[in-house]
Structure 1
């Protein structure tokens, strides 16, 4: 029986990161994957969907310029676009396979083994693996569970991954549908609404149970996204509840009930159910092992489960379902096993991107979260029209918004950026948040010019009372206020 120091089950972002970090400690590692190397993070999630998004942005630009320049467009061929997306996925998978196949070179011994098969923890140190009709058992001092998540389904919805899809089944599409309804107005639902509406071939319906999409995000951010979606023809069903969905004559008929009691029916070609994801741990371990569960997934204490030598990382713990969080947890778990972690496992400075129109990047708290925490805070919001780089790009839609503590230190609580290059603007702020540092430190740096991040510098200067652009003059472009728990008050008269 083969014995390992660490066995990692699941070769998605979290599991891959855990396995590679264990090799850094010179440990013998087994990495087991039953399906596709890279997991949903590559095949149905981040890389796959974001490649669709990137191409859709280019399509949107072509459509827009075509109208401006009075050029005819023959449209976009679905199969060619799909092939380009698949090429991106294959490129990443090929790189990972090459990496794994050659990982033992230079180590001086065979420390790493990649195993294709379905794993089950049958003892505290025993893992049973089924592959190609055969079964083997290996042993490991430590086990890391990293099997990810799957789309949430509801029993009354006719999901078949041919007409009614989850995000995991959208790869089965072979054409741009003439129309599609998306159930769920969270990040994933809004991303696919953006993608399909960008190409201009599909009428998108988006079902939102509240009065606005992205209910966890601040209203000023959401307004821009809603405006752009509706300008591209997206029909947003606000304050609505899906009460019936059926497949009839190879189409989808769905019925909504609104908050005022009114009901309405619609017919579309396809449907996407996007109501979140749930941890994937069915048949992963014997009940006798004693791994405790809660309503969110596997219960863990900074990645360690109720069983001392078994750890859980990534989506399976339902902490935050993001690739970067999964990788962080995977590395941290191994560091905790074999040595003292160099950094604590903290989530307050995790950077996020929402691939919408335009993109949204964030780190730390937004206003909704700060108010929920009962904090007083100062806020500055700077529109893109004040930033030279945005003007040069001929796209000034968007803003930078920074929240700081309501005191002389003005430590950064969070930031949101919506607009072009948003994701490039947040890393310095993420570092300062992790160190409980002040916005003042960014105000005095020399930033590259012209760049979007100059706007962060100006936000700091505004809060310090020495801006280049005076808020009292540009009131429509600059907001500088304090929230005292009840009302906003202007900081600049």
Structure 2
């Protein structure tokens, strides 16, 4: 029986990161993958969908500037776009595999394809194509990821009614599509398909606005752009039924006013979250506690002392960067001595919408729910030279800090072009539990979007270039206490 210091089950972002971190400790590692290296984070998740988004954004930008160059709208070729997305996926997979192959000379890492089953706390069975073996591991990390959630009353066939896994099976842009679920993934696909200008998109939203976890000023920009791009948002609606009728999708909605309406579209996309992959993963003699969202863990360690769980399979935040962080941390717990615990307060996120939305820490809605008094400043993109130069000034930066003299950073949201480039400095300040003075005095490149972040920090300190009281339509500086806003006066 082959013996390893660590067996990692799942070669998605979290499992791959764990395996690579274990090599830093000179440990012998086995990485097991059931399907394809990179997991959903590469094949039909973050990388593939964001490649779709990038191409869709390019097409949308071309359409905006046609008159400037006296051009007609080019025809977007679906099959060619699919090939480009697949090239991106294959490129990433090849790099991940090349990395492993090059490291095999160290005799510290093995990579096996097959379905893993944990027999005992140290033994793992691997079922490959016509093969079976049992291996021994001093420690085991479960990194088996997640899959799209399916609803029992919806006949998902990945041809007419799809999940995100079925997008790659499309042969052409559908002339119409309904998306069930107005969370991040649903809104991203609504942005992608409407951006190509080939598909009439319907978006089912059970509330009165999309992205229910976000602040209203963020949502209003995204909703307005969606609707301007032809997306029909079914607000305050509940799906009564969805059926495949004569090769198309028929769905019925009931609205909060009691009325019903029936629609007919070519395709449907069900985007109602994801569920962890741990079905039949371990034997009955393995006692791993579960909760409603996945494997219950204490800083990545499960209820079995030598078995750890990371990434989407746990109840924590389901993001690629979080999964990688957890994978690395689990290995550091096993073989090292981490100097700090896992923290999620400074996790940066980006929503690939129109425009993109980046965030870190708390938004206003979360701060209010927690009963936190805070100061908040907002700066319009029209105040940022880089946005003006790009001829795209739609968007804003919003920075939240504690309502005291320290003004420690609570969170930030950036809505607009290159939003993700403006986040990391603030994420670092949150992790360091620092105030905004360092941010205000940092010398930023010019022209850049991050200069807007600096101007927000200077507004809080009363030293900004533009004054909120002078440019009220573009800037604001307020304090929120006991459910009320007041202007910050210097």
Bucket of the pairwise TM-score, normalised by the shorter protein: over 0.9
Partner residue in 1 for 2:310: 313
Partner residue in 2 for 1:330: 327
Partner residue in 2 for 1:130: 127
Compute the displacement of 1:342 (Å).
3.7
Counterpart secondary structure, 1:336: helix
Partner residue in 2 for 1:76: 76
1:189-242 CA distance string (max 9 Å, x none): 000000000000000000000000000000000000000000010000000000
State yes or no: 1:212 paired with 2:200: no
Counterpart secondary structure, 1:197: helix
State yes or no: 1:86 paired with 2:86: yes
Counterpart secondary structure, 1:79: helix
Partner residue in 2 for 1:275: 272
1:146-295 equivalences under 5 Å are 146-295=143-292
Partner residue in 2 for 1:21: 21
- Structure 1: how far apart are the matches of 2:223 and 2:416? 14
Counterpart secondary structure, 1:102: helix
State yes or no: 1:405 paired with 2:402: yes
1:281-333 CA distance string (max 9 Å, x none): 00111122111111111111000000000000000003111000000000000
Compute the displacement of 1:74 (Å).
4.0
- Structure 1: how far apart are the matches of 2:227 and 2:143? 39
Tell me the number of residue pairs that the alignment of Structure 1 and Structure 2 aligns: 490
1:114-149 CA distance string (max 9 Å, x none): 000000001110100101122110010000000000
Partner residue in 1 for 2:423: 426
Counterpart secondary structure, 1:103: helix
Compute the displacement of 1:85 (Å).
0.5
Partner residue in 2 for 1:5: 5
- Structure 2: how far apart are the matches of 1:36 and 1:15? 12
> Which of 462, 476, 479 in structure 1 is aligned with 2:476?
479
- Structure 2: how far apart are the matches of 1:404 and 1:145? 37
Compute the displacement of 1:104 (Å).
2.7
- Structure 2: how far apart are the matches of 1:194 and 1:450? 28
Compute the displacement of 1:267 (Å).
0.3
CA contact (8 A) 1:127 1:137 kept: yes
Compute the displacement of 1:169 (Å).
1.5
Farther-moved stretch of structure 1 (333-342 vs 245-254): 333-342
1:353-411 CA distance string (max 9 Å, x none): 00000000000000011011110000000000011111111100000000000000000
CA contact (8 A) 1:388 1:451 kept: yes
1:49-92 CA distance string (max 9 Å, x none): 00000000000011122255552224111000110010000011
Counterpart secondary structure, 2:103: coil
CA contact (8 A) 2:194 2:200 kept: yes
CA contact (8 A) 2:349 2:358 kept: yes
The unaligned stretches of length 5 or more in structure 2 are none
TM-score relative to the length of structure 1? 0.98
Partner residue in 2 for 1:66: 66
CA contact (8 A) 2:385 2:448 kept: yes
- Structure 1: how far apart are the matches of 2:488 and 2:47? 42
- Structure 2: how far apart are the matches of 1:315 and 1:121? 19
- Structure 1: how far apart are the matches of 2:426 and 2:74? 44
Counterpart secondary structure, 1:378: strand
- Structure 1: how far apart are the matches of 2:80 and 2:20? 35
- Structure 1: how far apart are the matches of 2:437 and 2:74? 52
CA contact (8 A) 1:413 1:433 kept: yes
Partner residue in 1 for 2:33: 33
Compute the displacement of 1:111 (Å).
1.1
Partner residue in 2 for 1:100: 100
Counterpart secondary structure, 1:104: helix
Compute the displacement of 1:431 (Å).
0.3
The unaligned stretches of length 5 or more in structure 1 are none
Compute the displacement of 1:486 (Å).
1.8
- Structure 2: how far apart are the matches of 1:72 and 1:318? 49
- Structure 2: how far apart are the matches of 1:175 and 1:492? 56
CA contact (8 A) 1:471 1:492 kept: no
| RMSD (CA atoms) | 0.9
1:16-49 CA distance string (max 9 Å, x none): 0000111111111000001010000000111100
Counterpart secondary structure, 2:353: coil
- Structure 1: how far apart are the matches of 2:74 and 2:292? 50
CA contact (8 A) 1:278 1:318 kept: no
